[in-house]
A and B are shown apart, each in its own frame.
Chain A
Amino acid sequence: MDTLKLELKIWRQDSPKDKGEFKTYKVDGLNTHMSFLEMLDVLNEQLIESDSEPVAFDHDCREGICGMCSMVINGRPHGPLKGTTTCQLHMRHFNDGDTITIEPWRANSFPVIKDLVVDRSSFDRIIQAGGYISVNTGSAPDGNAMPIGKEVAEEAFDAAACIGCGACVAACKNASASLFVAAKVSQLALLPQGQAERDDRVVNMVSKMDQEGFGHCTNTGACEAECPKEISVEYIRKLNWEYHRSNIKG
């Protein structure tokens, strides 16, 4: 079976205040069927055995749905494979002898906590500003009582695929959160349940996004190219439209 020997250049930073630096490690005998995170697990065992501090990285589901496994691999958020999270990226996409650079998401609104782990609570605050709907609690309503066209349902569902990972911010030259906000705003604006707060939602979420210090959108499309859920910049178009519409309506 094929095995890999790699050189890893990884960002190490002890705490939010620590300056941080790149450190180089060598790992050998890696199985090509491993995921990228499993490869890091191997490195960490190696580090623990040699009494060194293991590399801190975020992960949870390891199946591409939680959005935790943030890291920039050779300049690409979640690595070189399209529409894939780091946990779903396999080592067969790398070559024996490669040097791989691994960095945390870089954005002032995502401060580094430790090594590759960043604080993404700025996203939570944007959601709190408007990413919700008001419904009466109690028994669930009959699904068929609220007809929704197939196209609309699909468009909303495609937006709802956003896992809030922040790769869009990491990829953008302006560290803009437009794609994330666009996905969340569109998903709710498209569906009948989202209509009650439709106008306030977009205004509040956009102003929260500005307050949190994310940059503006230059329409480079880098976010769409790096988004593991392949959220389209068409939703940013929609966000812009919703934003102008709500403000002009007053």
Chain B
Amino acid sequence: MNSYFNSTLFRKTLAGASGLFLVVFLIGHLVGNLQLFIPGDAGQKQFNEYALFMTTNPAVKLLSIITYTCIILHILTTIILVRQSSKARDVQYLHKSGNANSTWASKNMAILGTLVLVFIVIHLRSFWYEMHFGAIGLDSWGNKDLHTVTVTAFKELWYVLFYVCSMGVLGVHLKHGVESVFQTLGVKTRRYFSLIHNTAFGFALIIPTAFACIPIYIYVTQL
């Protein structure tokens, strides 16, 4: 059992399982964000009530602790794996084979993940930090007005572009990641191969695209 926990395969499984949880988290997060499409006062009221619920409900609190744990676990395990494997080949090839034998995404997960991390930090600073510690105003119903913070942030073109590009990066990370995790867990059998392959691809395409539509919508409606 001790050899299990020390094995690269177990670390990889932890990286995959935490990544899979984050994938589930993304679905929930997206559903919440879609409320930003509701126009006018009704939209503002609903979104701010939702934000209040998300920061106070004990079940959500527990879920958020699990989410943060998974982010940390995913980052730690992947850093350990990548560092360890970088020691497996000291002398590099002179002639590189490019993408002759594998996809670009699969070979650049660490760069993609690091960019996602940069996004996460800036994203948390913009919204999570404001909601918890910022000098945030109240809406007409007396709730913290995260809606206005969001709408104001997406008035800036550069911020919208940064958000949209980050979602592109996330999509490429997920294109390899979501399919890969089922291989790591050992469940991507021939029988489920196409199901997993297609679902993973669809997921990697749809979720980031849907996320990216929100700032674009907010930006365009404020022009």
A-to-B contact residues, CB < 8 Å: 9, 22, 72, 74-76, 80, 101, 103, 106-109, 171, 173-176, 203, 206-207, 210, 213-222, 225-226, 233-234, 236-245, 247, 250
B7-15, B63-71, B162-170 - the one binding chain A:
B7-15
Tell whether B185 is near chain A: CB-to-CB under 8 Å.
yes
A221 near B87 with CB under 8 A, answer no
B184 near A240 with CB under 8 A, answer yes
User: In the bound complex, what is the Cα–Cα distance between A109 and B37 (angstroms)?
Assistant: 55
8 A Cβ contacts from B93-118 to A: 93-98, 100-103, 106-107, 109
Q: Which residues of B contact A203 (CB under 8 A)?
A: 3-4
Q: Which residues of A contact B85 (CB under 8 A)?
A: 173-176, 215-216, 218
B53-61, B130-138, B186-194 - the one binding chain A:
B186-194
What is the chain A residue whose CB lies nearest that of B180?
A219
Tell whether B41 is near chain A: CB-to-CB under 8 Å.
no
What is the chain A residue whose CB lies nearest that of B193?
A234
Tell whether B62 is near chain A: CB-to-CB under 8 Å.
no
Contact flag A250-B1 (CB < 8 Å), given A220-B103, A236-B183:
yes
User: In the bound complex, what is the Cα–Cα distance between A75 and B95 (angstroms)?
Assistant: 5
B183 near A240 with CB under 8 A, answer yes
B96 near A75 with CB under 8 A, answer yes
Q: List 6 A-B contacts (CB under 8 A).
A: A174-B88, A210-B6, A215-B89, A220-B102, A240-B183, A244-B186
User: In the bound complex, what is the Cα–Cα distance between A16 and B1 (angstroms)?
Assistant: 37
User: In the bound complex, what is the Cα–Cα distance between A57 and B100 (angstroms)?
Assistant: 25
Tell whether B121 is near chain A: CB-to-CB under 8 Å.
no
User: In the bound complex, what is the Cα–Cα distance between A132 and B199 (angstroms)?
Assistant: 39
Q: Which residues of B contact A213 (CB under 8 A)?
A: 87-88
A206 near B100 with CB under 8 A, answer no
Task: Report the minimal beta-carbon distance from B37 to chain A, rounded to whole angstroms.
Answer: 36
Task: Report the minimal beta-carbon distance from B180 to chain A, rounded to whole angstroms.
Answer: 4
Q: Which residues of A contact B10 (CB under 8 A)?
A: 247
Kindly list the 3 A-B residue pairs having the minimum CB-CB distance in the complex, ordered from nearest: A241-B186, A215-B85, A75-B97
A108 near B93 with CB under 8 A, answer no
User: What's the interface size class on B, roughly?
Assistant: 35 or more
User: In the bound complex, what is the Cα–Cα distance between A171 and B4 (angstroms)?
Assistant: 26
A234 near B190 with CB under 8 A, answer yes
Contact flag A108-B9 (CB < 8 Å), given A72-B95, A75-B95:
no
Tell whether B84 is near chain A: CB-to-CB under 8 Å.
yes
In the complex, besides A210-B8, A216-B84, A217-B12, 7 extra interface pairs with C-beta distance below 8 angstroms are A75-B98, A234-B189, A236-B183, A237-B188, A240-B9, A244-B185, A247-B1
Task: Report the minimal beta-carbon distance from A91 to chain B, rounded to whole angstroms.
Answer: 18
Q: Which residues of B contact A103 (CB under 8 A)?
A: 93-95
B11 near A108 with CB under 8 A, answer no
A216 near B89 with CB under 8 A, answer no
A221 near B101 with CB under 8 A, answer yes
A226 near B101 with CB under 8 A, answer yes
Contact flag A216-B8 (CB < 8 Å), given A108-B89, A175-B88, A240-B186:
yes
Q: Which residues of B contact A72 (CB under 8 A)?
A: 93, 95
8 A Cβ contacts from B154-212 to A: 176, 179-180, 183-190
Q: Which residues of A contact B176 (CB under 8 A)?
A: 219
Contact flag A171-B9 (CB < 8 Å), given A103-B94, A213-B87, A218-B180:
no
B102 near A216 with CB under 8 A, answer no
Task: Report the minimal beta-carbon distance from A239 to chain B, rounded to whole angstroms.
Answer: 8
A225 near B187 with CB under 8 A, answer no
What is the chain A residue whose CB lies nearest that of B105?
A220
A216 near B101 with CB under 8 A, answer no
Q: Which residues of A contact B140 (CB under 8 A)?
A: none
What is the chain B residue whose CB lies nearest that of A216?
B8
Contact flag A74-B4 (CB < 8 Å), given A176-B88, A222-B102, A226-B101:
no
A74 near B12 with CB under 8 A, answer no
Q: Which residues of B contact A107 (CB under 8 A)?
A: 88-89
Tell whether B23 is near chain A: CB-to-CB under 8 Å.
no
B90 near A75 with CB under 8 A, answer no
